[in-house]
A and B are shown apart, each in its own frame.
Chain A
Amino acid sequence: MSIVLRIAREEWRSLLRNRVAVMGTILLTILMLIASLTAWEHQRNAGEERARYQAQSNHEFESQPDRHPHRVAHYGHFLFRPLNALAAFDPGINAYTGNTLFLEAHRQNSANFGDVRQSSLLLRFGQLTPAFVLQVLAPLLLIFVGFAGVSRERESGTLRVLLTQGVSSQQLVIGKLVALLGFSGLILLPAVVGLCLLSVSGASAWAMTLLLIGGYTLWLLLWSLAVIFISSLCQRGRDSLLALMAIWVLVVILLPRWVPDMANAAIALPTRFENEISVQREYLALGDAHNPDDPKFAEFRDKVLKQYGVTRIEDLPVNFKGLVGMEGERKSSELFSHYSTRAFDLQAQQNSFVDGFSLLSPLFALKRLSMTASGTDLQNFRRFLEQGEQYRYNLVQGLNKLQAESLTYADDTNRQKENRIARSNWQAFPEFKFTPGSSIETLKGALASIGVLTLWIMVLGVLSWLQSRRLGRAIR
């Protein structure tokens, strides 16, 4: 057995005889199990509930009696965001963004501009989830277990004894690191098993599972390096513990709270109320799409008449009211899209602002990676909103087209006449199917985070190496 492994084995034996290490590991494993089970149970219930509500909503929409297509467009439709199985591991911003959309003609879908999104920055804190346990509590346990790894040898005098047996200081530091990495593996094991089970059962893609395992492995490697580095830097175990606790508080607790607030202050998002007023003002300026005589649509009317080679809308072969509805929907959707894109761009700027602080706290990078892989990040939510909005637009325009083609203008403008079309028309519309991002897209999205974590590891690795060399010379 190599000297490094022998040192690691001895450190393990010491850990096994260390009550803090044993109790901490048991406690963390229990927490991880509780977090996994509760998150999974919540996830399963929520998933079943959403599927049930979606089926009910689809059924109610399709069950509308024969009626005017524009009434169908205003009847509305609900979309429920399907849950990614990995959301049980890291629910990310799901709890704050909502997962239900109400779709209606000339209305932006209900989720956009919601107040919950005002603080949809990636860095919420506090839910007991497997991700929370690994992100916040696991480093703490590593600190308690490893803070004295090297400093204890120096403090007790055994460092001198070890070195005089012909052990190099680098071997000592690497041995301690290997021991702590083994311990990290033990901490990570329950999550690895759980994630692999999800992939084996087909509930999640292997690529995402491996990305999560890789990301959290980097995270624990980073902390193991940090713990050993500080431990080799400090003369006494007590100093090492204090320094590591201060770093943990800053990196894991304070910065993830301060930085989002700073981002909010630096790049303010308009409130839902402000957005609604702005959108409504501009929407009213577009004209009333229910009224074919609205002067705002005069230009459109002239264009249509010219296109069909007639002079009166009554002579058009299609129902002009339906066409105006389509044009109005196009314009209003452009308006909604403009505001939605602007809001998302601002949020992207906020997230970039936060990402910049990954060089101070690698937790930002890990959180981004974790949520990206779990499909619970802002990008994934945006994808759902955009697909939902596209579905709403197609649905409403389909109904407008039915109005234009199935009803005559004369009938449609006659208030005494009931204008209904068969419900089979909208029953033929496709159901909403959410398409998540591909594995390649997700991996690309996580590359920056992997880069930041790797950079941290490299820097800590170099510092630890240099310090380990110094350690062999710093004894008198």
Chain B
Amino acid sequence: MLIDKVISSEASSSEYVLDARDVLAGYGSKTILHELNLHIRPGEIYALLGANGAGKTTTLSLFLGFLAPQSGLVRVNGIDPFTRPTEARKNFAYIPENVALYEHLSARENVAYLLDLAGQHEDASTISNALAAAGLDSSAFDLRVGGFSKGMRQKVAIALALARKVPALLLDEPTSGLDPQATTEFNRLLGLLRQQGVAILMVTHDLLSAADIADRIGFLEAGRLVEEVAAQGQDRFDVRNLHRRYAGQAI
């Protein structure tokens, strides 16, 4: 897949579901992110790549509302996630690298419980549909997730994200540990969410997978977004070149 460079600064802030402007962020006196500008529109998948310590997780923490920016502006659907975390979190779903679920509950019970907490009370058929859409075999719906593989857990998390019908999705290393078939299946699900207009920020090391699904890819180096490339446009970028340039950094 070819990817083009994009220039997104022309868009206004109201167009973006996930929006970070001139952000400096870090822990204590240590600054990790420098002048981060990241804007993701509805129905766009943005893959953020970078080496360990480049600031990917810090970026996610900003949108999750677990970290306040030292300066700059962070918004989720127009809401500051740090000062108004509860409201902001109604606007996104989050899938961590290792999907944590309640081991003593079944897949269906997990989704139902977490939906309840998000303020959505869905009937059993809606939950079943979400689980089926996420690709989980129906025989696993009522099994306790304690025995689920990582791929199955991710499907449960995706089902939750589908059922929540939120405008944004935050993903932390979603394809880490998945086999190629599961990765393909996962990307298919992301495509489904994109069609629904969900803005997706995906933090990953997996350039190939990102290139396969993302609309844009951003590269973080030492806390700075050094380059953004896109799948469409005049300056399309060859993924092989990207790989050659960034593989040495162990992204």
Contact = CB atoms under 8 A, between A and B. Distances in A.
**Are A and B bound to each other?**
yes
Interface residues of B, number: 28
B222 interface: no
A275 B100 CA distance: 70
Given A157-B96, A161-B100, A7 B117 contact: yes
Interface of A: 1, 3, 6-7, 10, 13-14, 17, 156-158, 160-168, 472-473, 475-476
A387 B20 CA distance: 81
Contacts of A164: 64, 89, 92-94
B96 to A, nearest CB: 6
A13 B92 CA distance: 28
Contacts of B118: 165-166
B116 A6 contact: yes
A472 B85 contact: yes
A49 B27 CA distance: 74
B27 A476 contact: yes
8 contacts: A3-B116, A6-B113, A14-B104, A160-B94, A162-B117, A164-B89, A167-B117, A475-B66
A180 to B, nearest CB: 17
A166 B119 contact: yes
A166 B85 CA distance: 7
Interface in B101-142: 101-105, 113-114, 116-119
B96 A166 contact: no
Contacts, number: 67
Contacts of A158: 100-102
Contacts of B101: 158, 161
A168 B101 CA distance: 18
B195 interface: no
Contact of B114 (A14, A161, A475): A161
A168 B104 contact: no
Contacts of A160: 64, 94, 96, 100
Contacts of A161: 94, 96, 100-101, 114
A172 to B, nearest CB: 9
Contacts of B105: 13
Nearest to B66: A475
A166 B100 contact: no
A261 B237 CA distance: 82
B8 interface: no
Contacts of A14: 102, 104
Given A161-B94, A476-B66, A168 B86 contact: yes
Given A1-B116, A166-B89, 14 more contacts: A6-B113, A6-B116, A6-B117, A14-B102, A157-B100, A160-B64, A162-B117, A163-B85, A163-B89, A164-B64, A164-B93, A165-B89, A167-B117, A476-B61
A439 to B, nearest CB: 46
A95 to B, nearest CB: 45
